[in-house]
Structure 1
Amino acid sequence: MAGEVRGRRHHWPTFLRQLILVVLLAGVVATGPTPPVAAAEAAVEAADWSEVDAFVRGRLDATDTPGAALAVIEDGRVVHQRGFGEDGRGRPVTPDTPFLWGSLSKPVTGLAVLQQVEAGRVKLDAPVRAYLPWFRLSDREASDRITVRHLLTHTSGIPTSASGEIGDRYDNAPGALADAARDLARVEPADRPGGSYEYSSAGYAVLGALVEEVTGRPFGTYLHQKILDPLGMRHAVATEGDFTRERVAPGHRSVFGTAVPFDAPYDTSGVPYGHVGGSAEDLTRFALAELGGGVLDGHRVLSAKGIADSQRGHVESSAGRYGLGWSVGTLKGTGERMVWHDGALPGHHAMLVMLPDSDRAVIVLQNAYHQLRAKEFADAAIGAAQLLSGAAPRTTPADGFAVALPWATAALVAVLLLSAVAPALRQLPGRRAAVRARSRRRIALTTVASAAAALATAALLWQLPAFLGGTLPMALLWLPDVGWGLVAAIALALLLALERTALGVLDLRRDSGSRRERRMAGAA
């Protein structure tokens, strides 16, 4: 998703709202009972958000998302919140419904690291091994040169694919995060440190382990003590205990176009890059602190300079530029600077779009996700931000490949299954005669060709997830219909190769027997 941004405002202009407030406050003077703060809140509630709500609702329908929460921030206040649909347990979604945030956890981790920088415990340009002596990739020399800044900006050389090596473990044992980071020792770097941008959740796992090391606290505990609790994020999730307490409902994965609940456990080993969570209300608190220069309700979590540095694009990325935990770009249609991050887990999608120059932000949390339709899920937040800024909202058409792939995989399974049961036709008299009529050479060539074709099919199917940027286990987790279709197709292709080989050997033996019988009959 490119950094995009800006548009038309579909709420009342500031001067009009100020006029309304004056009238309301005049009523307060005349009647006395309504406090000024209540009058201001009443004015916000009177604003017409129907167009924004309708747009978000339309995007949820387009992606078959059962439930979502929306929040809008303007001028240092939450001016609109609402829930759509139901959670994975059939309860209505509200602004207090907890979701998991996926990679939107990364800005939270970035903030935690920068707190250590400002406390003097960590230096951005120091080698990671200065704090984690055990940290290494398969290339020890490269490992020695990876800095904290490299990890924050995804320029460490740790490949995107490393997430498949250490991610989605659902490991909640003590030390799970450090154990995951240690397993990077078998990963080959994709580039030299600082050489190029390559998005890496694995790098943020290392950052979480670093925070644990320098603070002496579990990462989730640290987040609560230094970020989540001070900002009043009451339903925030950063530990397995939080996940249980908040009763985070199952998300939804797409199975042949239908949203199916997926009740995954929590993953303590993945908190720094994907398993922070909370409600839309919680995320508004985090956004308000980011827009407010690191302070909210008198609680400062980072200096204004630190916040500004984190929101500044440090390196060119695949989506504009990347800062110290944030993507940075411009809103398509307006050119306004946009600081944003989205995130996904199997069954959840979250996005926060901040427009710092106009002091606005949009949050959309969704309880469904499809890995091959990521832009469609991001449209809800991006498009809402564009509406608020006066631009036409982005609506990505459904990806025909993503829609067709599960059905194509199922069709392939059906073809392979029919091919595997086809040898039953050999029991027909005509088929047996045709087999007897074949030469030994033809039998051998047919056997080798059919077995080779089946093996090649299995190999190609095994490589398909890599072509899509993942692995077969990742496909099973993120795209279950495709993943299980591939498993079935690979198994059937291997079975078919074995079957064709066995039948070929049997046909050759039968042919040899038939030849002996004919020779004996001729001799008689």
Structure 2
Amino acid sequence: MRTPTVLTVVAGLVAGAAATGLMPRAPELGPRQTGDADLAATVRAAVDEPRGWRGLAVASIESGRVRVAGLGDRAPGGPAVEPGTPFEIGSVGKPLTGMLLAHRVAAGAVRPDDPLRSVLPEVTGPAGAATLAELASHRSGLPRLPTGPAALARNWWASVTAGNAYAGDDVDKVVADAAGTERDGERGTVSYSNLGPSLLGQGLAAQAGVGYPELVRRDVLGPLGMTATVVATDRAGLPAGRAEGATAGGRPVEEWLGAGYAPAGVGVWSTAGDLARLIAGMLAGTAPGVDAATPRFADEGGRRIGYGWFTSRYGDREIVWHNGGTGGFRAYVGYDRTADRGIVVLGNTARDVDALGLRLLGVRGDAASESRGLPRWIGAILALAFTFLGGLSLWSTARRGPDRLTVLSAAVWAVLYLALGHRLGDWSIVPGWLWPLGAALTGVAAALAVRRWRGLPAVAGAPPWRRWTGAALSAAFAALAVVVVVA
């Protein structure tokens, strides 16, 4: 074997070995557990694959008996999950807003068919014409979120940087956005929305003369004894001892905060024990606004919806439920009134817990099988593509690139692609050892580029100004990629 070839192979081996220490490692449900030992054992038996989960808090409610257990860790190298560990619950907050509507209707404060503008006069147009019942049941025709270019760009940026998707969305901004929002769906047809329930909650709060956090605490959380459930509108309001969220691939994420979207579940934190009080009150029929769970309107697939609560049939069983998801947390609450049985499952990664919740409720078959649909496979594709694309591109450029500028640009992007794959890939699906292989390929390609470097001109081909302009644009995109990696 010739010396240059040996050096190229050695460069690849060194790069792969060095990258092994940085190999992405997906969260995995650890062995630690707290609370009810029998429930913890039942949960572990129901977990089909521990990768992608770091910690779980689970509550079981059966014939009035409540059991709570914690499994795994709150954070990497952190303390164990305990029954009282707070988790971000996301859209599980929507049923609380639905219950608030049902409670206010029962008290005679509002009527289901009142238009939103009757409680929020500032909201005009289609949003103002939507009824309170339509907002609670996702039948207003309003979009999931405002759809202007700025909103779409911000949501995309929050997604790629694992940031707060609702930063700056205070009550005034949500009301202002709603006033200029058109319907993007058919009124009267269920189409899931975060904007609709948010406007509902803010309208009820305005009509009551208090803020939404105070109203839901006074009328729903307080009577249920849910003292550990908080609606945080800023970082100062986040609960102590909380779990830390992450993607299923292990990337840390920022908490979601945005006071305007609090009624949709943004900034709502709770514990398995507190949510068990909610489910126990729903099963007993004693929760404020319990009528919110009554299925009133048909949804797709035979599913029905009340005010925030969904009802789904599995064989001869009906499960009333809602789930929640934020950047780094997943939640599921559900109950079977006939069996007098309920479940709460909270996780501190973005891997879904719905199927686990259904299994713990005794539902079997496809319904209790975790979806491996497009969203998770997007993360897998990003992991594979970014890990190997840069090395392959650099290899090709190192062999045929016309000048040093082209080779240098390819080398910079090869490193950035590796970093993007590490950062954005879902390594709970893709084996982490593939990443060092990508690094080894990049190392081999870099060694080849070094061998050719001295024989290449600085700039060749197109007019220099055009080549340097292209290089500047490439550098700008590279800088953006760096921000994504380090954010």
Normalised-by-shorter TM-score class: 0.5 to 0.7
Offset of residue 244 of structure 1? 3.1
Offset of residue 422 of structure 1? 6.7
Offset of residue 192 of structure 1? 4.0
TM-score normalized by structure 2?
A: 0.66
Tell me, in whole angstroms, the C-alpha distance in 2 between the residues paired with 1:482 and 1:279. 29
Structure (1 or 2) with the greater helix fraction: 1
1:345 to 315, 318, 326: 326
Tell me, in whole angstroms, the C-alpha distance in 2 between the residues paired with 1:169 and 1:393. 30
TM-score normalized by structure 1?
A: 0.62
2:187 to 180, 184, 193: 193
Residue equivalent to 1:481: 424
Q: How big is each residue's C-alpha offset from its partner over 1:69-125, in whole Å with a ceiling of 9 and x where there is no partner? A: 1111111221x2211001026111111111011111000011112222122221111
2:196 to 197, 203, 209: 203
1:217 to 195, 210, 220: 210
Counterparts of residues 21-420 of structure 1 (less than 5 Å): 49=39, 52-59=42-49, 61-62=50-51, 64-78=52-66, 80-88=67-75, 90-136=78-124, 140=125, 142-162=126-146, 168-171=164-167, 176-194=170-188, 196-240=189-233, 243-254=237-248, 257=249, 259-264=250-255, 266-274=257-265, 275-295=267-287, 301-302=288-289, 307-308=290-291, 310-317=293-300, 320-331=303-314, 334-370=315-351, 374=352, 377-386=353-362, 394-396=368-370, 398-399=372-373, 401-410=377-386, 414=390, 418=394
Offset of residue 268 of structure 1? 2.4
- Root-mean-square deviation (Å): 3.6
Tell me, in whole angstroms, the C-alpha distance in 1 between the residues paired with 2:109 and 2:371. 48
Q: How many residues align?
A: 368
Distance 1:291 1:481, change over 3 A: same
Q: Could you say what secondary structure the match of 1:197 adopts? A: coil
Q: Could you say what secondary structure the match of 2:230 adopts? A: coil
Which residue type is aligned with residue 295 of structure 2?
Answer: R
Tell me, in whole angstroms, the C-alpha distance in 2 between the residues paired with 1:100 and 1:327. 20
Tell me, in whole angstroms, the C-alpha distance in 2 between the residues paired with 1:508 and 1:292. 73
Q: How big is each residue's C-alpha offset from its partner over 1:181-210, in whole Å with a ceiling of 9 and x where there is no partner? A: 32133433113422x211001111101210
Distance 1:218 1:319, change over 3 A: farther
Kindly indicate whether the alpha-carbon contact (under 8 Å) linking 1:181 and 1:205 is maintained by their aligned counterparts in 2.
no
Distance 1:230 1:507, change over 3 A: closer
Kindly indicate whether the alpha-carbon contact (under 8 Å) linking 1:171 and 1:269 is maintained by their aligned counterparts in 2.
no
Counterparts of residues 398-477 of structure 1 (less than 5 Å): 398-399=372-373, 401-410=377-386, 414=390, 418=394, 425-427=401-403
Tell me, in whole angstroms, the C-alpha distance in 2 between the residues paired with 1:506 and 1:86. 56
Residue equivalent to 1:10: none
Kindly indicate whether the alpha-carbon contact (under 8 Å) linking 1:131 and 1:214 is maintained by their aligned counterparts in 2.
yes
Tell me, in whole angstroms, the C-alpha distance in 1 between the residues paired with 2:139 and 2:209. 27
Q: Could you say what secondary structure the match of 2:402 adopts? A: helix
Offset of residue 231 of structure 1? 1.3
Kindly indicate whether the alpha-carbon contact (under 8 Å) linking 1:68 and 1:366 is maintained by their aligned counterparts in 2.
yes
Which residue type is aligned with residue 43 of structure 2?
Answer: D
Kindly indicate whether the alpha-carbon contact (under 8 Å) linking 1:171 and 1:268 is maintained by their aligned counterparts in 2.
no
Q: Percent identity?
A: 25
Tell me, in whole angstroms, the C-alpha distance in 2 between the residues paired with 1:397 and 1:117. 38
Gaps of 5+ in 2: 1-35, 156-163, 407-419, 427-459, 468-487
Tell me, in whole angstroms, the C-alpha distance in 2 between the residues paired with 1:347 and 1:283. 19
Kindly indicate whether the alpha-carbon contact (under 8 Å) linking 2:309 and 2:322 is maintained by their aligned counterparts in 1.
yes
Offset of residue 265 of structure 1? 5.6
Distance 1:419 1:54, change over 3 A: closer
Q: How big is each residue's C-alpha offset from its partner over 1:279-301, in whole Å with a ceiling of 9 and x where there is no partner? A: 10000111111111134xxxxx2
Distance 1:408 1:57, change over 3 A: closer
Offset of residue 147 of structure 1? 0.9
Kindly indicate whether the alpha-carbon contact (under 8 Å) linking 2:90 and 2:330 is maintained by their aligned counterparts in 1.
yes
Which residue type is aligned with residue 410 of structure 1?
Answer: F
Distance 1:250 1:318, change over 3 A: farther
Instruction: Specify the structure having the higher radius of gyration (Cα).
Output: 1
Offset of residue 362 of structure 1? 0.8
